[in-house]
Amino acid sequence: MTTFPTIASDHLPALLAAIPKAELHIHIEGSLEPEMIFALAQRNGVHLPYDSIEALRSAYAFTDLQSFLDIYYAGASVLLHEQDFYDMALAYLQRAARDNVVRAEIFFDPQTHTARGVAMETVVRGLRRACVDAHAQWGISAALILSFLRHLSEEEAFETLEQALPFLGEFIGVGLDSSELGHPPEKFARVFARCRELGLHVVAHAGEEGPPAYVWAALDVLGAERIDHGVRAVQDALLMQRLARERIPLTVCPLSNVKLRVFPDLARHSLPQLLQAGLAATINSDDPAYFGGYINDNFTQTFAALPQLDARDAWQLAHNSFAASFAPEADKRAWQQQLQACVERVADGG
């Protein structure tokens, strides 16, 4: 945008809520609210090691990534049938549409389910049906990204890819998530090469708890088109230059970073530095049921804690989210126009 309208700071919360945005870093299993975990456990006769919704919610006092993952996998154990995956994804998409998310690129972790005897087909069909219905009901565009669990072996990732081949048209790319430290991108070089050959988009978590070297390897070894998190890039000046020069998107998740103690608090988050350096940063919710908020909570709390962020940064973050998405170019252009119109409307006090 060449001329940016003046927006009073007291209109900033309204702007953050109203702007159309893409969410590019959301793990669908991380959108399972305790209420839904209990309802699905009851429906499916699954025993949970928590007596009540409150007991489960109070267990969400994580100290690091691993302590979160332990509870996350326990929560996912209630998902057995296609309808369970459908209900989970539809609930997320309805919630995201309320936050003016017009495009969601959703991670799913098939290995979390196939390891429990749930078929790939059950997972993919339930999630896809929710994407189609959410588009019809709320106009939200949604796509799936199959994510490999990095604490498992590359051989197991290959097996998962093999199981997913009949559903190639149902997901747009692959990612890499779960425990980062000790599981560098190099471990998955061959399976990601195969995914690129198949024409799939490639993204990877890197630089959350892991060092900047993991971001370099995600780019150079895996061919990642986007880096999920990447907030530790600020520790490496050369990496920062490259990310800025090549406009490589970072899908930043501020509330997640604080909950998992990547940063002590939002006021010390590296997001302003990333934007200042010209990186294509975006704001996302990661695992919203577990980290205390959906995408608009991430926007409002981050801007409240970092007063140097202004309306132009809000526009930039939303603009970056569309530029970074894997949606068709015509859709991306339309959303950018909606963004522009929204900013002008809020500037006019409308």
205 assigned binding-site residue: yes
Output the smallest distance, CB 342 to Zn ion, in A: 27
Tokens, residue 218: 């995600």
228 assigned binding-site residue: no
Output the smallest distance, CB 21 to Zn ion, in A: 17
Query: How many other CB atoms are there within 10 angstroms of residue 303's CB atom?
Result: 25
Stretch binding Zn ion (CB under 5 A), from 141-149, 191-199, 282-290, 297-305: 282-290
CA 169 vs. chain centroid, Å, equals 21
Query: Which residue number is nearest to Zn ion in terms of Cβ?
Result: 286
Output the smallest distance, CB 3 to Zn ion, in A: 36
Stretch binding Zn ion (CB under 5 A), from 55-63, 150-158, 286-294, 323-331: 286-294
81 assigned binding-site residue: no
Residues classed as catalytic: 208
229 assigned binding-site residue: no
Q: Where do runs of H (alpha helix) occur along the chain?
A: 12-18, 34-44, 53-58, 65-76, 82-98, 110-114, 120-138, 154-164, 189-197, 212-220, 237-245, 254-259, 271-276, 288-291, 295-305, 311-324, 329-347
The three-class DSSP label of residue 193 is helix
* Residue number with CB closer to Zn ion (80 or 88): 88
287 assigned binding-site residue: yes
Q: Is 286 in the site for Zn ion (CB under 5 A)?
A: yes
HSE of 182 in the Cβ direction (CA atoms, 13 Å)?
Answer: 7
Q: Which helix (H) or strand (E) holds 283?
A: strand 281-283
Output the smallest distance, CB 215 to Zn ion, in A: 14
- Of residues 73-92, which lie at the interface with Zn ion (CB under 5 A)? none
**CA geometry: angle 243, 210, 151, nearest 5 deg:** 120
* Residue number with CB closer to Zn ion (33 or 286): 286
* Residue number with CB closer to Zn ion (111 or 342): 111
**Total count of residues recorded for the chain:** 350
* Residue number with CB closer to Zn ion (105 or 286): 286
What are the binding residues? 25, 27, 205, 286-287
Where on the chain is the footprint of Zn ion (CB under 5 A)? 286
